[in-house]
Amino acid sequence: MIYNWLALVALQVSALFLVLGIFLILIIIALIASAIRVVPEYQRLVVFRLGRLHGVKGPGLVLLIPVIDRGIRVDLRERVINVPHQTCITEDNAPVDIDFLIYYKVVDAERSVLAVRNFEQAAVGIATTTLRAVVGDIELDDLLAKREHINQTLRTKLDEVTERWGVKVTNVEIREILPPRDVQEAMIKQMAAERMRRAMVTEAEGKREAAIKVAEGEKQATILRAEGEKQAAILRAEGDRQAAILRAEGYSVALEKIFNIAQQLDVNTMTLQYFDTLRRMAESPATKIVLPLEFTQLLAPVRELASRMGSGSHRSRHEHRHERKSE
């Protein structure tokens, strides 16, 4: 019976040692696991040894002393803070709600851990106070137009403060500006009136352009008509000239032929033509007075006497006028 009891005690002791061994192995594994850290490329590990800063480790495999060393991971990638709607009062006492985004990245992992406890909360606090100060100097009508100015002012102010924290504010973007409802309705009416004005201006410009085009077309048509009439007149004048030349040439040829024929006629033939013409004239029932050609020859001495008398009277008047001048 004693033998059985001793066997039982030995079995219990061996089980206890087994459990202790397993526990020690687990503790050793846990210590080894806590001592080995794998730091990615976009992170750094800030190591504290017995509460004092030991340094910044990474990237890659980092070995820590269990229980003695403590590591804090710091992400170096660019991150964004979404700041919800903040109510601000403009210079003309109009309340507006503004929300914006803050983009930042850690440039010094050591200072980001030692200099500030909660960077995001601190950045939001500085950004909201700066936003209220900037908006307080701007009137509501200019607020929407100065969005870029507000972004630049916020970024500069945040960058000045966060530089000592080892954090770089890369950008600040206002996402939405919400004026009061009555102001929004007034802005909608103003935009509608502006669109109507632009439409009327565009319509007037279109009508003016159309009138100009029509006038230009009429001008060009008038010019073309005038050019056409000018060319037609030139062509008509040229045609009339050519016709006159041809008629003159025809008359010239006809006269030349008449002259050639007349040269071949003798006195008897002309006399016969003369009597034939008198016969045809006599056939007409109208009353006629015919003066033979010889009658004009009988009047030749009378014309000669009249001309001599006229020249003598003219000479006497001239001599009488000369005598008066000499007296």
- Average pLDDT per run of 10 along the chain, which is 327 residues long? 65 77 85 85 92 89 88 92 88 88 92 88 88 87 83 88 89 86 76 84 87 87 86 86 83 72 61 66 65 58 64 54 51
Distance of alpha carbon 168 from the chain centroid:
39
Q: Which residue has the tokens 């010019």?
A: 223
AA identity, residue 243 = A
According to DSSP, the residues that pair with 120 across neighbouring strands are: none
Q: In terms of DSSP bridges, do strands 69-75 and 43-49 run parallel, antiparallel, or are they unpaired?
A: antiparallel
Buried b / exposed e over 208-242, threshold 16 CB at 10 Å, is eeeeeeeeeeeeeeeeeeeeeeeeeeeeeeeeeee
* CATH architecture, domain defined by 78-179: 2-Layer Sandwich (3.30)
Q: Which residue has the tokens 């210590």?
A: 31
Do the Cβ atoms of 91 and 138 come closer than 8 Å?
yes
Give the C-alpha separation, 230 to 151, whole Å: 72
Answer positive or negative: Cα dihedral of 57, 60, 66, 72.
positive
Q: Which residue has the tokens 């009658």?
A: 295
Q: Which of the 8 DSSP states describes residue 163? A: G
Give the C-alpha separation, 248 to 206, whole Å: 61
pLDDT score at 79:
92
Count of C-beta atoms within a 10 Å radius of residue 138: 19
pTM summary value: 0.53
pLDDT score at 311:
59
* Residue range(s) in the chain whose domain bears CATH number 3.30.479.30: 78-179
Contacts of 87 (CB under 8 A, 6+ apart): 95, 96, 97
Distance of alpha carbon 234 from the chain centroid:
49
Burial of 154 (0-12, 13-18, 19+ CB in 10 A): buried
Order of all β-strands in the sheet with 43-49: 52-57, 43-49, 69-75
